[in-house]
C-alpha cells in the first residue's frame, strides 16, 4: 500500500489538472464567442483548434479567409506567406523555448472593394498551470465594417443613444474632430453639438475628458445578439 500511494496521488493530481484545464478551456471558448472580432486558436502547423462564432461566420463567407479540413486558408499569396512565417516562428518558439518575436500583423484583401480584414497573430504560453496548451497561437481577424456596425449597436443599446448620437460618440472614440465629422457627414456643426449635449446628458458626463473615458471603456465590441 505504501508503494501504491505515491502513484495514486500522482493519478489524482493529473486528473485534477486535466479537469481544471478542461474547465479553463471551455470558459475561454465561451468568452471568445462574445467577441465581435473573429478569433482562432491554432497549432503551429496551421490547424485550427477552435474558432469563435464570429470567425466561423467569416470563414463561411469565404471572402479572403476560409477554414477547410481544419486548416486556415488565405486567398492571397502575401497573406499565406505572412501566416506561414508567423506559424514557423511560433514553431521555433515551441521547439527551443527561445524568447523571440513570433508575431504578425497584416491585411487580407477582399472582393468587391470591401474593407480588408485586419489579421493579428500572437503566440500562446507554452504551458498553463502545469498543463501543455492545446493551441500554440491565437489569430485575431477584424472586419472593420462589421466592427463599426457592432460598435454602433453597442453604443445605441448600452447608452440608449439614437443613431445620430451613436455616430458622434464613435467619432469621439476615434479621436476625430467634431468639425471634420460634421463636414464629412454634411451636417451642421450646431447639430453635432446638439447631439454631443444629449450624449453628455444620457451618460451623466459633464466634462469632455470624462465622456471620452466612458466611451473608451466600450472600445471592445461584443456580440449583442
pLDDT tens string 39-55: 999 999 999 999 998 89
Q: Indicate whether 3 pLDDT > 60.
A: no
| CA–CA distance, 123 with 88 (Å, rounded to integer) | 11
Angle (CA) 112 66 118, round 5°: 65
| CA–CA distance, 25 with 43 (Å, rounded to integer) | 15
Is residue 187 helix, strand or coil?
coil
- In the predicted model, what is the mean pLDDT of residues 129-145? 76
| CA–CA distance, 113 with 64 (Å, rounded to integer) | 12
| CA–CA distance, 53 with 48 (Å, rounded to integer) | 14
pLDDT at 221 (0 to 100): 52
- In the predicted model, what is the mean pLDDT of residues 142-150? 74
Confidence at 18, pLDDT banded by 50, 70, 90: very low
Tell me the domains of the chain and their CATH numbers. Answer: 4-142 (3.30.450.20), 146-216 (1.10.10)
Q: Indicate whether 132 pLDDT > 70.
A: no
| CA–CA distance, 197 with 129 (Å, rounded to integer) | 50
- In the predicted model, what is the mean pLDDT of residues 175-204? 93
- The structure's pTM equals 0.61
Confidence at 25, pLDDT banded by 50, 70, 90: low
Is residue 176 helix, strand or coil?
coil
Q: Indicate whether 225 pLDDT > 60.
A: no
What stretch of H or E contains 221? none
Angle (CA) 160 174 54, round 5°: 70
Q: What is the mean pLDDT of the chain?
A: 81
pLDDT at 20 (0 to 100): 53
Nearest Cα residue to 135 out of 17, 11, 29: 29
Confidence at 21, pLDDT banded by 50, 70, 90: very low
56 vs 145, which has greater pLDDT?
Answer: 56
Amino acid at each position: 500500500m505504501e508503494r501504491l500511494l505515491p502513484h495514486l496521488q500522482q493519478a489524482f493530481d493529473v486528473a485534477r489538472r486535466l479537469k481544471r484545464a478542461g474547465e479553463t478551456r471551455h470558459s475561454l471558448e465561451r468568452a471568445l464567442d462574445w467577441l465581435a472580432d473573429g478569433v482562432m486558436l491554432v497549432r503551429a502547423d496551421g490547424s485550427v483548434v477552435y474558432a469563435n462564432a464570429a470567425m466561423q461566420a467569416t470563414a463561411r463567407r469565404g471572402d479572403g479567409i476560409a477554414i477547410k479540413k481544419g486548416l486556415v486558408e488565405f486567398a492571397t499569396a502575401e497573406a499565406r506567406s505572412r501566416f506561414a512565417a508567423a506559424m514557423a516562428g511560433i514553431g521555433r518558439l515551441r521547439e527551443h523555448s527561445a524568447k523571440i518575436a513570433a508575431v504578425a500583423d497584416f491585411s487580407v484583401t477582399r472582393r468587391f472593394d470591401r474593407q480588408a480584414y485586419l489579421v493579428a497573430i500572437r503566440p500562446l504560453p507554452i504551458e498553463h498551470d502545469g498543463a501543455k496548451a492545446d493551441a500554440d497561437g491565437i489569430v485575431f481577424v477584424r472586419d472593420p465594417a462589421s466592427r463599426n456596425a457592432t460598435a454602433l449597436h453597442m453604443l445605441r443599446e448600452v447608452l440608449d443613444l439614437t443613431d445620430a448620437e451613436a455616430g458622434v460618440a464613435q467619432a469621439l472614440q476615434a479621436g476625430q474632430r467634431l468639425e471634420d465629422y460634421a463636414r464629412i457627414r454634411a451636417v451642421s456643426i450646431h447639430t453635432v453639438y446638439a447631439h454631443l449635449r444629449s450624449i453628455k446628458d444620457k451618460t451623466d458626463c459633464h466634462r469632455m475628458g470624462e465622456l471620452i473615458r466612458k466611451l473608451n471603456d466600450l472600445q471592445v465590441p461584443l456580440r449583442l445578439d
